[in-house]
């Protein structure tokens, strides 16, 4: 059955401001929201925000996981410190630890190459391709439908990428109700221009992560480079800074409580339309177990890599990422147990069912969709513990690299268009970059300890829940013996050469026949389990094909249901460009407490202990004590450090420019408060607060602490 176009279903009237500042809106939806935006404080034309080739949207860019923006005509890019963390770590050594000490290129010639594979993506066009994606799939089901959808999307991407200066992707919206082709200029030469010291960029560390009050200068600068012809090119000393079509002015005035702000960025993923059965599993099983295992993962790194050592530096980015998830999951679970989301989800589904059943046409169209989707979700969870534990085993860098190399050789036997996504010609530069990054993000002792631990947990599963091929490869038929299996792994690591970058790159060029003959023990493991893993992958695709048919039906029903109530509908986040808006303001995290919306230099100093993670640089402390505020107070009696707003954001929004009504940069979004983390699943207007680095603090640090005058001079500062 052909579904009605989403645009027709979403022809909603946005009159008044009766609904909360909820929603991650696609740019083309913004003209419909103009009256709301103007009433709140937008001063520029709302239509300009809907046009990707016009200011300010063409100044907002993706880093492929984080957001950033151009802030000068010389390709200068500002993002979060934690978004540049991998590149900062990559360029750090025990002798020159710029993670700890910071870095400033006084001239663009001194910019440091970012971590291999770093990219800047400038979105240029967004095209609705729904009809082209679903063409020929209407009567298909299971894996046949999955394969047909993938084939259609691959063809659209291939046509779009005929010009190799662009990266194109097809994104699914509303569970597959609509598909959009997004074309982005891919800038391949990205360099690190400036990062403050860890005592600024990660002040408060994991203790303050997701917490308020906050005093973190979570900002850093890249610079984008292109060839002399102005087109994207791989790194070369001859490349020149990219000249963007527009860039953001940076406000030294900042914002005040109650001011309008909007955030433009690339939010990663939300799950606000998932059904009750999925909510139950995620919050009562998946997140609690992930939190336990991720905590152990971090402790294994710390136990096997001394602080400040080469091994620890190699894993600093990994530790930061895992600690972020650990705290994230903890808040999710806590908020879920305190709240009523599950009950409200079930009530909504009952109300939706009643609404459908009261109309013969709707019942015929949507009557069975909830039951069908619930059954499919249940099937997807049948072997979740097996998949979880084997997933951790396969996170070993030696195993994951071996499997990637083996799969690459297998896929290269096929015509490019028939290869698995991730292994086509367009993906080879990314694969190569990953093989190179491993050189500075791997330690044998750490990797071995992680693998040994999770291998033991996998072996503890019931035999019928394990794969015979994995058991045989690791000699687990008679159970796990720590001494015996440590010796087995010692031997595997000793005989493998995958820890050598040249070897990895050479293996990436081998044919399938050649790689099957490899005597590397990890390549042999990849070979031993390939057939059964491929069969499991095909089963998963068959189930995914069924889900791809059911979810759009449910979303069509939800949209029609909300339309009947005159409620606006936005799509779940999916790493595509979105706009969210709100106001600067505090909140009450619990009874008897009220959090004000700004923190200050004095608050930062009061928190300082000179012991990590509360170890602000000495010069910064002196400037605060001397009250050398400069022109960065914006009418306050101090320099604001961080501020709160109620904009609706999630992971991927990190580094997003926070704009005032004139589209001037007044901050960088970098976090949310602890109570708002569950916003990935459930929006609560009373507790949903995002945390921003105040532009005044960023400029103050650059000027008064790090003497980054060369960068300030090329930026347009609004005073």
> Which burial class, exposed, middle or buried, applies to 484 when counting CB atoms under 10 A from its CB (0-12, 13-18, 19+)?
exposed
Grouping H, G, I as helix, E, B as strand and the rest as coil, residue 312 is: helix
Peptide bond into 200 cis (omega under 30): no
Q: 92: pLDDT confidence band, cut at 50, 70 and 90? A: very high
Grouping H, G, I as helix, E, B as strand and the rest as coil, residue 499 is: coil
Q: Decide if 550 contacts 369 (C-beta within 8 A).
A: yes
Rounded to an integer, what is the distance from CA 180 to the centroid of its chain? 19
With a cut of 90, say whether residue 565 has pLDDT above it: no
Mean confidence (pLDDT) of the chain: 95
Q: 253: pLDDT confidence band, cut at 50, 70 and 90? A: very high
Q: 398: pLDDT confidence band, cut at 50, 70 and 90? A: very high
Mean pLDDT over 416-425 rounds to 97
Q: Decide if 660 contacts 654 (C-beta within 8 A).
A: no
Catalytic sites, residue numbers: 82, 218, 654
pLDDT, tens digit, for every residue of 529-549?
999 999 999 999 999 999 999
> Which burial class, exposed, middle or buried, applies to 592 when counting CB atoms under 10 A from its CB (0-12, 13-18, 19+)?
exposed
- DSSP class of residue 99 equals H
Mean pLDDT over 509-531 rounds to 98
With a cut of 60, say whether residue 176 has pLDDT above it: yes
Mean pLDDT over 567-586 rounds to 95
Rounded Cα gap, residues 339 and 342, in angstroms: 8
pLDDT, tens digit, for every residue of 96-106?
999 999 999 99
Question: Lowest-pLDDT range, 14-28, 576-590, 631-645?
Answer: 14-28
Residue 694's H or E segment, with its range, is: strand 690-694
Q: Which residue has the tokens 């993923």?
A: 269
Q: Decide if 313 contacts 99 (C-beta within 8 A).
A: yes
Rounded Cα gap, residues 376 and 328, in angstroms: 27
Rounded Cα gap, residues 84 and 694, in angstroms: 18
More confident site: 13 or 79: 79
pLDDT value at residue 18: 33
pLDDT value at residue 299: 98
Mean pLDDT over 386-413 rounds to 98
Mean pLDDT over 170-176 rounds to 97
Rounded Cα gap, residues 214 and 642, in angstroms: 6
Mean pLDDT over 322-351 rounds to 96
- DSSP class of residue 3 equals P
Angle between helices 384-393 and 444-459 (to 10 degrees): 160
Please measure the distance between the N-terminal and C-terminal CA atoms of the chain and give it in whole angstroms.
Answer: 58
Q: Domain spanning 6-119+188-265+572-672+684-718 has what CATH number?
A: 2.40.10.120
More confident site: 48 or 256: 256
Q: Decide if 178 contacts 6 (C-beta within 8 A).
A: yes
pLDDT, tens digit, for every residue of 601-647?
999 999 999 999 999 999 999 999 999 999 999 999 999 999 999 99
Mean pLDDT over 570-598 rounds to 96
Which among 682, 688, 717 has a CA at the least distance from the CA of 278?
Answer: 682
pLDDT value at residue 20: 62
Angle between helices 521-564 and 369-380 (to 10 degrees): 160
Q: 21: pLDDT confidence band, cut at 50, 70 and 90? A: confident
Q: Which residue has the tokens 């005035």?
A: 253
pLDDT, tens digit, for every residue of 274-285?
999 999 999 999
More confident site: 16 or 313: 313
pLDDT value at residue 225: 98
Which among 161, 71, 68, 170 has a CA at the least distance from the CA of 119?
Answer: 68
With a cut of 70, say whether residue 483 has pLDDT above it: yes
DSSP strands (E only) in 188-281: 189-195, 220-226, 240-241, 250-251, 260-265
pLDDT, tens digit, for every residue of 670-693?
999 999 999 999 999 999 999 999
Mean pLDDT over 452-462 rounds to 98
Rounded to an integer, what is the distance from CA 86 to the centroid of its chain? 14
pLDDT value at residue 213: 98
Quick one: the chain helix, strand, coil %, rounded to 5? 50, 15, 35
Helices vs. strands in the chain: H and E counts, helices first: 28, 20
Rounded Cα gap, residues 586 and 212, in angstroms: 10
pLDDT above 70 as % of the chain: 97
pLDDT value at residue 32: 87
With a cut of 70, say whether residue 491 has pLDDT above it: yes
**What single string gives the DSSP state of each residue in 153-174?**
HHHHHHHHTTSTTEEEEEEEEG
Angle between helices 341-357 and 521-564 (to 10 degrees): 60
Mean pLDDT over 581-598 rounds to 96
Which among 687, 697, 700, 695 has a CA at the least distance from the CA of 210?
Answer: 687
With a cut of 60, say whether residue 587 has pLDDT above it: yes
Q: Which two tokens stand for residue 102?
A: 């910071």
Q: 13: pLDDT confidence band, cut at 50, 70 and 90? A: very low
**The pairing of beta strand 717-718 with beta strand 250-251:** parallel
Phi-psi region of 479 (alpha: psi -120 to 50; beta: other; left: phi over 0): left
Q: Which two tokens stand for residue 192?
A: 């690190």
Which among 694, 660, 646, 657 has a CA at the least distance from the CA of 261?
Answer: 660
All residues at 6 or more sequence positions from 164 whose CB lies less than 8 Å from its CB, including other chains: none
Q: 202: pLDDT confidence band, cut at 50, 70 and 90? A: very high
């Amino acid at each position: 059955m052909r579904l009605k176009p989403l645009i027709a279903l979403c022809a909603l009237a946005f009159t008044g401001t009766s609904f909360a500042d909820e929603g991650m809106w696609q740019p083309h939806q913004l003209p419909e929201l103009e009256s709301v935006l103007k009433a709140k404080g937008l001063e520029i034309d709302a239509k300009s925000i809907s046009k990707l080739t016009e200011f300010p949207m063409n100044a907002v860019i993706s880093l492929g996981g984080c957001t950033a923006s151009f802030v000068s005509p010389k390709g200068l890019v500002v993002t979060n410190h934690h978004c540049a963390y991998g590149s900062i770590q990559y360029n750090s050594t025990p002798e020159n630890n710029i993670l700890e000490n910071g870095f400033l290129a006084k001239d663009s010639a001194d910019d440091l190459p970012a971590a291999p594979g770093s990219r800047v993506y400038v979105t240029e066009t967004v095209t609705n391709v729904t009809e082209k994606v679903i063409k020929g799939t209407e009567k298909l089901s299971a894996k046949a439908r999955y394969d047909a959808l993938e084939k259609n999307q691959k063809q659209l991407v291939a046509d779009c990428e005929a010009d190799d200066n662009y990266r194109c992707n097809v994104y699914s919206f509303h569970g597959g109700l609509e598909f959009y082709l997004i074309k982005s200029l891919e800038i391949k030469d990205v360099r690190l221009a400036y990062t403050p010291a860890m005592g600024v960029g990660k002040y408060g560390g994991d203790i303050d992560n997701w917490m308020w009050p906050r005093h973190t200068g979570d900002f850093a600068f890249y610079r984008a480079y292109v060839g002399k012809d102005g087109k994207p090119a791989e790194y070369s000393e001859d490349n020149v800074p990219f000249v963007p079509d527009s860039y953001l002015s940076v406000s030294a005035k900042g914002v005040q409580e109650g001011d309008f702000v909007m955030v433009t960025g690339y939010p990663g993923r939300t799950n606000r339309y998932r059904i009750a059965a999925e909510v139950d599993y995620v919050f009562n099983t998946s997140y609690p177990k992930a939190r336990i295992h991720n905590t152990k993962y971090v402790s294994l790194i710390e136990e096997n890599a001394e602080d400040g050592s080469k091994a620890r530096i190699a894993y600093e980015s990994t530790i930061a990422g895992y600690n972020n998830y650990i705290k994230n999951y903890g808040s999710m679970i806590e908020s879920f147990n305190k709240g009523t989301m599950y009950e409200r989800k079930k009530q909504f589904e009952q109300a939706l069912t009643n609404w459908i059943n009261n109309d013969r046409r709707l019942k015929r169209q949507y009557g069975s969709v909830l039951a069908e989707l619930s059954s499919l979700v249940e099937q997807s969870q049948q072997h979740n513990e097996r998949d979880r534990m084997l997933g951790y085993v396969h996170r070993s860098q030696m195993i994951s690299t071996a499997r990637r190399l083996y799969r690459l050789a297998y896929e290269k036997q096929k015509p490019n268009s028939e290869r698995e996504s991730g292994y086509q010609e367009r993906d080879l530069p990314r694969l190569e970059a990953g093989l190179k990054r491993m050189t500075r993000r791997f330690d044998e002792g750490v990797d071995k300890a992680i693998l040994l631990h999770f291998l033991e947990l996998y072996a503890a599963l019931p035999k019928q829940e394990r794969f015979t091929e994995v058991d045989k490869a690791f000699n687990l038929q008679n159970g796990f013996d720590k001494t015996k299996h440590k010796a087995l792994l010692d031997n595997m690591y000793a005989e493998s050469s995958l820890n050598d970058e040249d070897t990895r790159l050479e293996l990436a060029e081998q044919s399938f026949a050649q790689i099957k003959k490899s005597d590397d023990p990890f390549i042999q493991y990849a070979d031993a389990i390939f057939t059964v893993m491929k069969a499991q992958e095909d089963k998963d695709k068959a189930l995914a094909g069924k889900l791809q048919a059911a979810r759009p039906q449910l979303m069509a029903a939800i949209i029609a249901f909300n339309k009947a109530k005159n409620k606006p509908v936005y799509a779940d986040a999916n790493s595509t460009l979105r706009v969210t808006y709100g106001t600067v303001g505090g909140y009450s995290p619990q009874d008897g407490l009220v959090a004000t919306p700004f923190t200050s230099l004095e608050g930062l100093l009061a928190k300082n202990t000179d012991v990590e993670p509360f170890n602000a640089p000495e010069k910064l402390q002196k400037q605060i004590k001397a009250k050398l505020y400069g022109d960065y107070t914006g009418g306050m009696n101090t320099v604001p450090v961080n501020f709160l707003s109620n904009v609706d954001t999630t992971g991927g929004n990190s580094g997003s420019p926070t704009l005032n009504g004139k589209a001037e940069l007044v901050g960088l979004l970098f976090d949310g408060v602890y109570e708002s983390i569950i916003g990935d699943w459930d929006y609560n207007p009373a507790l949903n607060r995002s945390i921003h680095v105040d532009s005044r603090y960023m400029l103050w640090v650059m000027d008064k602490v790090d003497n980054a005058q060369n960068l300030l001079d090329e930026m347009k500062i609004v005073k």
